[in-house]
Each structure stands twice: as C-alpha cells, then as structure tokens.
Structure 1
C-alpha cells in the first residue's frame, strides 16, 4: 500500500486570526475521493481562498476532513479516462478541489477526468501553478473584455488589488498586449515593482474619494479588472468611459455593491462577472491556450516564489493579513522522486 503526505483541513475552530484548521497527515490511496485519473502531484499554489480554508475563515470548506489546495499540476499515474494516459502532464483548477473534494496539497490526487486539462507544452508544472487559478481568472477576464470591445487604442485599463496574484498577472498580461495599465494598490512600497511588471502609473487606494464620488464621474477607464468589490467597484463603474468594460473577479474588500445605474444606461458600460471555479471545459481550454501564447506572463520569475511543501502552513497568515504579493507556488513532489506509471 502506498502512503503519501497531505495537508488535511479539519473542523476545529481557530483560536486566533492566523490559527490553522489543517495539519500534515500520512494517507493512503483508499482515503482519496472518487475519480478516474490518479495523479502524482508535483506543484500546487496558495490563493486567498486556500488561506480562508486552512484558517477556518469564510466557511470555504464544505466537507471535513478535506485536503486543501484549489490548484494542482502533476503527472498521470493511472487513468480510466480516455483523454489521458500514464505519463501525461496535467493541470486542474477550481471545481470542488480543496473545498468538497481532496485537493492539491497532497502527493497524490484522484480526480474526474473532466476536471483536467493537458499541461501546455510550453509551460512547466511550476510555471503553470505560478499562473494557476489567478492567471486563469485574469485571462478569462481579458478575453471577455476584448470580446466586448476592449482594445489598446480605446484608453487605459485599471487593475485594482494590483499587488495580489490576479492583479500582478493581469498587469503583466495587459501590458504585454499593448494596453496602458494603471495599477491600484494599498501598498505604496510595491509601486516600483508594479511598474516593472508593466504598469504605466500606480494609484494608492487611500487616495480614492470612495465616500464622495459622483454617480457618473469623469470617464477615465476603457476597462477595469476589479479584485475588490464594494465601493471601489462602484467608483470604477462611475469613472468608466462610454462603452467601457468592467470585469468583476473578486470581493477582497467587500461582497456588496451599491452603485448608480447611470454608467450602464447613460454610458453603456458593461459589468462582466468572471467565474473561474465552474467555467466549462471549452472556456478553460481557450484561456490556457492563450496563457501559453499571447497572454503568457512575461515576468513569472519575479511574480512567483517557490516554497517547499513543509513550509505551507507558515504562509497562510500572510494572505489573511493582506501581506502576500504575487504568486506562491508549493513544490509538492520531493526532489528527485520517481515512480513507475502503470
């Protein structure tokens, strides 16, 4: 019987802001959930959602115990799915991973074949997880915005929550496509780094008139990728240009929206909701194809940090306290580990 390490989230209530509900366990394959593709997990990543799950905040996990990790990349060991054969590299993000189905924080994963995509040949497992759910979300947002008329010549694109995973990747991708990108962040110390990723200008969230903006203010933005929600999203809508496109991809600041109808009916602004968790196969396939080509981030090496599996519990607090920047990749497989694929 094969045993493997897993970071398993249990039902215990955290005593402090950064306490954990998870711990490392040794499991065997009988503990895995239903699926038709067995994967040797090589890498995963840390997202804000993973931190909420691991610390018991936000009621993210829907079954206990549950192996955390909403992203994974690895190699197929066994497959009953016709699309995949042993030895193939695959990636999985979203669906029920890490919340209702054992996820990527384990050396083994057993998943439905419909949740998997082939790893693009131009990306390594580490690079795919530096992109992960965050990059998939950004790519889906840019694709939807361009389908709704966004072009570089139409004007600047604002990215809010700019120093986080989605924000940094979105800035990099947009700048690579020739857009003028403006980064909005609460972290003044990250301004030079954001400019290095491609932002032409950096704005501080503390400078926004979030308590006193007009329902229809001066039109500035041809497009907006918003990670924050709440008043920031309402302000972004009010300052969008005629026929501007705003992609709502997160609610890190506020899950509520109180906004005027004026941007919609007087300027024809579009508000696009982006869901990367349950997006269909064709949407994911197209997004990953672009992530390996024209939307491939140019600065992945500076955006990502790689941590060993055993260091995973130490990083969740950074995300809860909004101290994390860029993308955190978790190296799951032990260095030099090999295994027969039968």
Structure 2
C-alpha cells in the first residue's frame, strides 16, 4: 500500500443548502469513493457537463456533495486489481466519473480498475486532457460516420457547435483526414481560429436553415452535431441522400422538431454518440487511434486556457454561458 495523505485538496460542489456552493475543501482520502485504483491527478478539464454537475439545478450530479470533473489524467499510486504499474500514466473519463463518483477536480482520485485507460504512447497527460471526453466524443463521431461510408470525396461535412470542445476537435480531425469542413458557430470572432484548425468555411448557425422546413436542398455528405434541438433538425433536412449525422449534444435543446421525411425520402441516418458507457476495450482502442491516425495535427492549439483549481468556478460559469472556445485545462500539480 502507498503512503497516501489522510486528506486531499479538492473542489467540492455542495447542494445541501438552498443554493449550490462550489469551494476548495480538504477532503478525507477515505471519502474519495469506491474503487481499488488510486491515481495522483495531474490534469483535468472543463466541460459543459461539469458546469451542470456543479449546480443545484443542473440535474446531472447524482451524489451530494460531489467533486466534479468528468476527465482526469495522472499516474498510478495504487494499482489495485488492474494490470497497471505504480507510476504508469493513465486517464479516466466517462462512466460515473464526476457525476455519481468523485471526479478530476482533486489531487487524488480512486476509481474502479475497469474505468482506467493506459495513456497511449505519444500523448502526454496534458494532451490527453486537451482531448478528454470532448475529443473522445469527436473521435467516436468521425469513426461512426466513416463506418457508415463517409469518405473525403463524398462532399462537404458540417460541424455544428464548432467552437466547443467536441466541435473544435471534430473540425481538426476531419480536416486532417482530407474532408472539406464547414464549421458552424454563433461567435463572430471565431472564424480565424476555426480556419486555423482546418475549417474550409465558417458560417453562422442561422445560415444552416429553418428547422420548420422538413426538407431543404441536399448539401452535406455528413455532419457532426454537438447542439441538438432545432439545429439538428435543420441538419437532418439538408443532408444528402444516404448521408448521416453523428449527434452527441443537447445544448440547443432536447426536443428535435423534425419529420420522417429525411429518413424515408432521403434515407439519411441519425447516429447517436455516447461516450459515457462506451465499453472499456472500445474506449482503449479509440484512445490508441487518438494518439495515431485520429490525432489532431494542431492538438496543443485546442487548449485555449489553463487554470488552477481556484480558477475552475469562473471557467465553469464561462462554459455554461456559452463564452468558451476550445478546451480549458485544469492543472492539479
């Protein structure tokens, strides 16, 4: 057994009162949660889901209080029942991390062995968190589209919510694989940055069409949608015959006001992307590809901000208000 400290420094969201409190506390090591693998956390990241988990009205956290942080990277302190070695670099995301189990905004994390991914060769812990759940979801989206038959010569590919974590990584991966990417954003000052990631065109989200129209001109050979709601409905209505959209987000709303016409008249497909319960072997395979053929060429440019634990509350407010661009990293040590 390692000589763990009796308590660790962590950012705790507490909704036990009339309002949520988000504060740095000394958390007893014994209270880190169930699991047999202990990780010294070096890096985490800021995600929309973390913002929701930190709020009483977010309806995401399933334990209270909770240490948010759905992503973490660090080194093994206690390997437990895993086949990992003390000091080995690893990452964890998904499953109950930061939602029903204390997450990455802590100096140490204790998790089940079945949640742990060895850090692939060629990625640092910082780079892994630049990708994080967002990059993993983007990779799953690209893989799903290509397994559906998408190729670079099929035509332009649309990415909605392009300045967010999933969207920005998707733009970068698709462009590097030879696709002509149209990035959709509501941020007027983001065009130059999106072009630097590889976007061929940058358009305002209002330009992708009226969601009330069941069918529009066939435009997109495929799409990655990180928004949902009316945006997803408009994308479905403008996909080319036989095309697909990989959908993973709901920041634009949960209901999708569409019709059966895109599906029965144009044979389009809606591919649901879930990164939370993805099986661990599939998870490890995708991370290996993120270090290889799916690695964004300008990976470090996707990290637009780095904060210490004390800066996380402000970063969470920023991402919840839609003011974030790219990926915000959290440095724990």
Deviations 1:186-215 (A, max 9, x none): 1111011111111100110133432553x1
In structure 2, the partner of 1:108 is: 108
Deviates most, 261-270 or 168-177: 261-270
**Residue number in structure 2 paired with 1:120:** 120
CA change 1:281–1:44 in 2 (3 A) is same
User: How far apart, in 2, do the equivalents of 1:83 and 1:269 lie?
Assistant: 43
Task: Please tell me whether the aligned partners of residues 14 and 21 of structure 1 are also in contact (alpha carbons under 8 angstroms).
Answer: no
Q: Within 2, Cα distance between the matches of 1:73 and 1:241?
A: 40
Match of 2:323 in 1: 323
SS at match of 2:54: helix
Q: Counterpart in 2 of 1:340?
A: none
Distance 1:208 1:293 in 2: 33
- Would you say the 8 A contact 1:90–1:119 is kept in 2? yes
Superposed CA deviations along residues 40-61 of structure 1, whole A, max 9, x for unmatched, are: 0000000000011123332111
Q: Deviations over 1:129-163 (max 9, x none)?
A: 00000000000011111111011010111000011
Which residue does the alignment assign to 1:200?
A: 200
Q: Deviations over 1:72-117 (max 9, x none)?
A: 0000001222321211111001110111101110001000010010
Report which stretch shifted further, 238-247 or 200-209: 200-209
| 1:5 maps to 2:9 | yes
1:121 Cα deviation after fit: 1.5
Report the Cα distance in structure 2 between the residues aligned to 1:59 and 1:327, rounded to whole angstroms: 23
Between 75-84 and 179-188, the greater mean CA deviation after superposition: 75-84
Q: Is the 8 A contact 1:14 1:55 kept in 2?
A: no
Distance, in Å, in 2 between the alignment partners of 1:267 and 1:137 is 26
CA contact (8 A) 2:208 2:235 kept: no
1:251 aligned residue: 250
- Is 1:180 the counterpart of 2:180? The answer is yes
Instruction: Measure, in 1, the Cα distance between the counterparts of 2:211 and 2:292.
Output: 41
Preserved contact between residue 140 and residue 274 of structure 1 (Cα < 8 Å): yes
Tell me how far apart the structure 2 counterparts of residues 198 and 228 of structure 1 sit (CA, whole Å): 20
Distance (Å, rounded) in 2 between the aligned partners of 1:79 and 1:209: 52
Question: Unpaired segments of 5 or more residues in structure 2?
Answer: none
Cα distance between partner residues in 2 of 1:145 and 1:207: 23
Once superposed, what is the RMSD of the aligned Cα atoms?
Answer: 1.4
Query: Within 5 A, what are the aligned runs for 1:1-342?
Result: 1-12=5-16, 21-210=21-210, 212-213=212-213, 215-304=214-303, 305-333=305-333
1:3 deviates by: 2.3
Number of aligned residue pairs: 328
Report the Cα distance in structure 2 between the residues aligned to 1:265 and 1:207, rounded to whole angstroms.
25
Output the CA distance in 2 between the equivalents of 1:55 and 1:49.
10
Query: Any unmatched runs of 5+ in structure 1?
Result: 334-342
Contact 2:37 2:82 survives alignment (8 Å): no
Q: Tell me if structure 1 keeps the 8 A contact 2:41–2:74.
A: yes
TM-aligned CA deviation for residue 171 of structure 1: 0.2
Q: Secondary structure at the match of 1:285?
A: helix
**For the residues of structure 1 that align with 2:191 and 2:239, how far apart are their CA atoms?**
23
Q: Aligned residue for 1:336?
A: none
Instruction: Kindly indicate whether the alpha-carbon contact (under 8 Å) linking 2:212 and 2:257 is maintained by their aligned counterparts in 1.
Output: no
Does the 8 A contact of 2:6 with 2:30 survive in 1? no
Change over 3 Å in CA distance of 1:222–1:14 after alignment to 2: farther
The separation in 2 between residues aligned to 1:10 and 1:204, in whole angstroms, is: 38
